[in-house]
Amino acid sequence: MKGKINKVKNRITTLVTVLSMLACFALLSEAQAVSPAPDGCYPNFTTAEGCGALGSLTTGAGNTALGWQSLFLDTTGSFNTGVGGGALALNNADSNTAIGAAALLLNTTGTQNTAVGTDAMVFNDSGDSNTATGYFALMNNTSGGSNTAIGSDALTANTTGNNNTAVGNQALQNSQTTSDNVVIGTMAGSGITTANNNVIIGHHSGVHTVFGEESDRCFIDNISGAPVSAATAAIVMVDSDGRLGTVTTEGPSHRASSSKGIRRQAIPDAAKQAMLNQKIQSLRAIVTQQQTQIDTLTAQLKEQATQIQRASADLEMSKPAAKVVANKP
């Protein structure tokens, strides 16, 4: 925590230094200045345009407010940018950026937030380090922190959830208090309401048809049931760190890249054995299937031979008995 505070202080010091350097340009001779001078230029590196914009400012520095009542109640907050009617109207914190009508409208103490879009993060109060880009993105967030929502209605219901990343229109749209989810795709994770730490790529709702809603799961759309080339298909493996691959190795390997940029890799003995075992199993399955077919044909032939024998016997029985004709003198 101490390191984070020091990092923030360093950033603020850097900003003050930069702004101080910019102030030096104001001391240049009037011959070099724009004439007439632009309006909205106020002390402490402040720019305000619009009815009530930065109307309560006292000691805050480096603020820019463009729009009706934007940053209206800010008194000591610094380095904020509010563009749009009501943007950051109640803010008195530092380093927030709101672009869009009512963006971060109700923010009071939340810092380092970026909201771009109409009503983006409109209800945020004390949440920090959030990024919302899109109409109604993170609209209902109040104290949740370190969330990223990109897309219309992305994470729109989130209130106190933390560390979520939602990319896509209506992504994670029904999640209110869940955390640590990463979803990419239109309506990705739209069914998540209680699960945490899920990864969803595609348009999957995040709710399994059998197991329902669970935490610590991964969904990737358009894989199940999709065909692959039989000539180049490979078994995909996963290790305990969640890393995917088609070969195994005991440690880091340094292999040269092919002309296409694809690293050519020697297949370890264990992987070769695994691939050989897989081929053997496939061959055994084929042999078993063929043997079953042979057994079926043999049974059918036996049945047909039995039927032929029965038909021959019936034919013999149906023949008329032989008659002896005696010659009379």
CA atoms within 13 A on the CB side of 323: 4
Mean pLDDT score, 56-71: 95
For 302-314, how does the pLDDT look when each residue is reduced to its tens digit (9 = 90+)?
A: 888 888 888 777 7
Q: Say what the pLDDT of residue 158 is.
A: 98
Q: Which is higher by pLDDT, 20 or 97?
A: 97
Q: Say what the pLDDT of residue 27 is.
A: 45
Q: Say what the pLDDT of residue 33 is.
A: 44
Q: Which is higher by pLDDT, 298 or 117?
A: 117
Mean pLDDT score, 244-265: 62
Mean pLDDT score, 224-230: 89
> 96: pLDDT confidence band, cut at 50, 70 and 90?
very high
Mean pLDDT score, 228-256: 80
Q: Which residue has the tokens 């101490």?
A: 2
Q: Which residue has the tokens 């590196």?
A: 45
> 291: pLDDT confidence band, cut at 50, 70 and 90?
confident
Q: Which residue has the tokens 């345009």?
A: 49
Q: Say what the pLDDT of residue 77 is.
A: 97
Q: Which is higher by pLDDT, 93 or 263?
A: 93
Mean pLDDT score, 180-186: 98
For 19-56, how does the pLDDT look when each residue is reduced to its tens digit (9 = 90+)?
A: 454 444 344 434 344 455 556 678 889 999 999 999 99
Range name among 122-126, 167-171, 221-225, 270-274 with the lowest pLDDT average: 270-274
For 117-163, how does the pLDDT look when each residue is reduced to its tens digit (9 = 90+)?
A: 999 999 999 999 999 999 999 999 999 999 999 999 999 999 999 99
Q: Say what the pLDDT of residue 273 is.
A: 74
**Dist. CA 293–CA 286, nearest whole Å:** 11
The beta-strand segments (E) located in the chain are 41-42, 46-49, 64-66, 81-83, 97-99, 114-116, 131-133, 148-150, 165-167, 182-184, 199-201, 218-220, 237-238, 244-245
Q: Say what the pLDDT of residue 157 is.
A: 98
> pTM (2 decimals)?
0.69
**Dist. CA 150–CA 268, nearest whole Å:** 43
